């Protein structure tokens, strides 16, 4: 089961946190999981490149206080999200997050009070549940929802590993291939991909974009990525199996994230 859970909270006391908070939410996620099942949490932390979860940074109406810090007001509302791409992880999270009653947690030594936990898109646009099988059936088996043009919105900085470098442009092949890698490792559903990568190289193009770069500073290291909207177009006149896979992967991005460091808040996006 695929899960995207959004947690809305307020600080017990007004506090300050760095602008870049994905590492804080990463730590909080692992702490929550360790409190439920320490052995499972350790295995998850040591997982390979395609980890079965993502986290977001914090969102809300922050007051910029300088020196790379944001102020969170004790009267304000803020939120973040976790996603799970593993059935066991989803069940653990659902059982633990079932109640918000008197629940608190700590971010950067600051105590926060949970106001709401959403797992349904009707309650929050970044929440939701699905499954690998459901997505596969829609696009590959039933061949529904397939479009010639795909628009993506990247909410948090997005980049890709390419050899020893970081690519900070929405180049189709690394963007969709990074998602395909996660599908291969995490879905348990093999794809008859054929020459899909060659198709990405030759038939999938960027047709429109409105993006800008953004840097996140995590004290010991910095990463630059792009945010904004990108439209991709399939140059083929007729529908093909590759277009179906392409559409499926764009849907999957909501849960698996896009590109590198998605477990630190990068690559959070969705299909428009």
Q: Read out DSSP for the chain?
A: -EEEEEEEEEESS-EEEES--HHHHHHHHHHHHHHH-HHHHHHHHT--SS-SEEE---EE--EEEETTEEEE-TT--EEEEEEE-SHHHHHHHHHHSS--TT-EEEETTEEEEEEEEE-STTT-TT-EEE-HHHHHIIIIIS--S--SEEEEEEEEEE-EEETTEEE-S--HHHHHHHHHHHHHHHS------TTHHHHHHHHEEEEEEEEEEEEEE-SS-EEEEEEEEEEEEE--SS--HHHHHHHHHHHHHHHH-SSS-GGGT-S-EEE-
156: left (phi over 0), alpha (psi -120 to 50) or beta: beta
pLDDT higher than threshold 80 for residue 89: yes
pLDDT > 70 fraction of the chain, expressed in percent and rounded: 99
For residue 98, name the pLDDT band (cuts at 50, 70, 90): confident
Q: Given this model, what pLDDT does residue 7 score?
A: 96
Q: Given this model, what pLDDT does residue 221 score?
A: 85
Total-model pTM? 0.95
pLDDT > 90 fraction of the chain, expressed in percent and rounded: 84
Domains of the chain: 2-128 (3.30.70.1890), 131-271 (3.30.70.1900)
pLDDT higher than threshold 80 for residue 191: yes
pLDDT higher than threshold 90 for residue 164: no
C-beta of residue 28 within 8 angstroms of C-beta of residue 105: yes
Give tens-digit pLDDT for 32-64. Answer: 999 999 888 888 877 777 899 999 999 999 998
Over range 146-166, report the average pLDDT: 94
pLDDT higher than threshold 80 for residue 86: yes
Q: Given this model, what pLDDT does residue 174 score?
A: 94
C-beta of residue 135 within 8 angstroms of C-beta of residue 252: yes
C-beta of residue 114 within 8 angstroms of C-beta of residue 100: yes
Q: Given this model, what pLDDT does residue 75 score?
A: 93
Q: Given this model, what pLDDT does residue 218 score?
A: 86
Whose tokens are 């459901």? That residue is 134
Give tens-digit pLDDT for 202-257. Answer: 999 999 999 999 999 987 889 999 999 999 999 999 989 999 999 999 999 999 99
Give the tokens for residue 189.
């559903």
Over range 165-180, report the average pLDDT: 94
Give tens-digit pLDDT for 100-121. Answer: 677 999 999 999 999 999 999 9
Over range 170-197, report the average pLDDT: 94
């Amino acid at each position: 089961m695929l899960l995207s859970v959004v947690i809305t909270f307020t600080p017990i006391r007004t506090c300050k946190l760095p602008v870049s908070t994905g590492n804080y939410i990463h730590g909080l996620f692992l702490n929550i999981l360790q409190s439920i099942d320490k052995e499972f949490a350790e295995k998850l932390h040591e997982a390979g490149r395609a980890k079965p979860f993502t986290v977001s940074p914090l969102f809300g109406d922050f007051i910029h206080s300088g020196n790379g810090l944001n102020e969170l007001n004790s009267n304000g509302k803020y939120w973040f999200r976790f996603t799970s791409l593993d059935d066991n992880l989803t069940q653990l999270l659902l059982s633990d997050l079932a109640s918000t009653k008197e629940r608190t947690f700590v971010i950067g030594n600051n105590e926060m009070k949970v106001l709401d936990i959403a797992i349904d898109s009707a309650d929050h646009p970044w929440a939701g549940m699905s499954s690998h099988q459901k997505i596969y059936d829609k696009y590959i088996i039933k061949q529904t929802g397939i479009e010639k043009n795909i628009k993506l919105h990247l909410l948090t900085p997005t980049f890709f590993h390419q050899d020893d470098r970081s690519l900070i442009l929405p180049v189709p092949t690394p963007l969709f291939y990074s998602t395909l890698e996660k599908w291969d490792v995490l879905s348990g559903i093999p794809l008859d991909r054929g020459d899909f990568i060659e198709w990405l190289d030759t038939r999938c193009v960027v047709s429109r974009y409105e993006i800008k770069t953004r840097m996140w500073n995590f004290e010991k290291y910095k990463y630059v990525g792009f945010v904004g909207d990108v439209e991709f177009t399939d140059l083929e006149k007729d529908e093909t199996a590759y277009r179906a896979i392409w559409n499926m992967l764009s849907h999957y991005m909501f849960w698996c994230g896009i590109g590198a460091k998605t477990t630190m808040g990068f690559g959070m996006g969705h299909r428009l």
